[in-house]
Amino acid sequence: MGVDGANEVYNEIRQGQPIGLGEASNDTWITTKVRSQLLTSDLVKSSNVKVTTENGEVFLMGLVTEREAKAAADIASRVSGVKRVTTAFTFIK
C-alpha cells in the first residue's frame, strides 16, 4: 500500500482526548518560541522549516540539509515546554 507520488509516509497518529484551550494556547506559544529561535540561528534557513506543536510535541518539516535538520531539532528541543521533537525532513545536498 502506498500513496501515489509520495516517497515516504510518516505515521505519527496519536490517540487521546482532544486538547483544551489552555494546552492549545501553550502549543501556540511553544511554536512561536521555536520559530523565533530558528529565525535568529545562523545554522538554519528558517523559511525552509515548518513548525507545528501539538500537546507539547514539536513537529519539524521541510526541505533542508542534514546539518540544518540536526540544528533545527536541537534548537527546538531546548525550548522551554517542549516534551518531544519529531522530524519529517526531506534532505537536500
Q: pLDDT tens for residues 11-62?
A: 767 777 888 999 999 999 999 999 999 999 999 999 999 999 999 999 999 9
- Please give the helix or strand (H or E) that residue 20 lies within, else none: none
Q: Which DSSP category does 30 fall into?
A: H
Place of cell 518539516: 61
Q: Which fold has domain 21-91?
A: GMP Synthetase; Chain A, domain 3 (3.30.300)
Report the pLDDT value the prediction gives residue 1, as an integer from 0 to 100: 56
Strand pairing class (49-54; 84-91): unpaired
Cα gap 61→89, rounded to integer Å: 5
With CA atoms as reference, report the closest residue to 40 among 70, 71, 10: 71
Confidence of residue 79 (pLDDT cuts 50, 70, 90): very high
pTM of this structure: 0.84
